[in-house]
Amino acid sequence: MAVDLEKKGHIGVITMNRPEALNALNTPMLQELEKVIAEVEADDEIYVCVLTGAGRSFVAGADIGEMSEYGSVAGKAFSDYGNSVFLKIENMAKPVIAAINGFALGGGCELSMACDIRLASEKARFAQPEVGLGITPGFGGTQRMPRICGVSNAMEMILTAKQIKADEAKAMGLVSAVYPAEELMDKAMELAETIASKAQIAIRQSKRCIRRGMQTDIYTATAYEAEAFGVCCATEDQKGAMKAFMAKENYTFLNK
């Protein structure tokens, strides 16, 4: 398998596992990733995902050998398909943490941006090198990067095709934290466990509000938030957690 899924308690660890090609994304690998995403979504015991890469790369881009043979029709179809898979990650009810262990170039950088939270190893490297290959980013890079990092940073990254280090990625908001390589997965799992320990209905409603709200105006977005707040107020966890708070007691979420 080029995409592995391992369950660790309530955490699903997805590993891009094609290290001989630096985990470059070809069509079969995208198909496997799509199946794994569906498996995670359907598994009620998985609350949070961590997505990482095997070997010294997170994902070193889309497979240039495959893309080099494309004409305009096949190229558009490949971009459409990659975008559809990444949108499934972005729209998954469960939070996804990218643990970026090495090269996140082109499609790999785009894959990380489809995740909800990005943590990087000090060895991580980021780029959107597509204009140096005669193409544009094809898996959402022109859309997610300006939303995440601002238009000027995105323009510079994409139009120069430059590669940046993890500390530069943190400075521009592309990742939220940088860790020594040997600590990355432990830190990602620690973060995942923290999220998994909270009220999962509230977690999923919060993610949904953020994702939907970023695509619309503030009035529509706050209406989504009010709806989500109301949903949470009808849960057992809201009643139990607030009662425990007032009584200065601990509360373990039932997640229902």
> How many residues can be counted in the chain?
256
The closest alpha carbon to 110, from 167, 157, 171, belongs to 157
Same domain? 131 vs 212: no
Same domain? 141 vs 109: yes
130 is catalytic: yes
Same domain? 117 vs 186: yes
Same domain? 44 vs 79: yes
Same domain? 147 vs 186: yes
Active-site annotation holder among 130, 225, 236, 249: 130
Same domain? 176 vs 113: yes
pTM of the model: 0.96
Q: DSSP letter for 184, please.
A: H
User: Rounded to 5 degrees, what angle do the CA atoms 82, 123, 137 make?
Assistant: 25
Same domain? 173 vs 93: yes
Same domain? 236 vs 118: no
Q: Which residues, at least 6 apart from 249, have a Cβ–Cβ distance to it below 8 Å?
A: none
pLDDT at position 144 is 98
Decide if 65 is inside a domain. yes
Same domain? 117 vs 158: yes
Query: Containing domain of residue 213, as a range?
Result: 200-246
Domains contained in the chain, number: 2
pLDDT at position 197 is 96
- Residues of 205-222 as b/e, b for ≥16 C-beta within 10 angstroms? bbbbbeeebeeeeeeebe
236 is catalytic: no
Helices (H), 7-150: 27-42, 64-67, 72-91, 107-114, 141-149
Region class of 150: left (phi > 0), else alpha (psi between -120 and 50), else beta:
left
pLDDT at position 254 is 87
Active-site annotation holder among 6, 110, 183, 249: 110
**Burial category of 81 from C-beta neighbours within 10 Å (exposed 0-12, middle 13-18, buried 19 and up):** middle
Decide if 253 is inside a domain. no
SS3 1: coil
Q: Which DSSP helix (H) or strand (E) runs through 189?
A: helix 184-196
> Which residues of the chain are under the pLDDT cut of 50?
none
**Burial category of 156 from C-beta neighbours within 10 Å (exposed 0-12, middle 13-18, buried 19 and up):** middle
Q: What is the pLDDT of residues 19-59, one digit of tens each?
A: 999 999 999 999 999 999 999 999 999 999 999 999 999 99
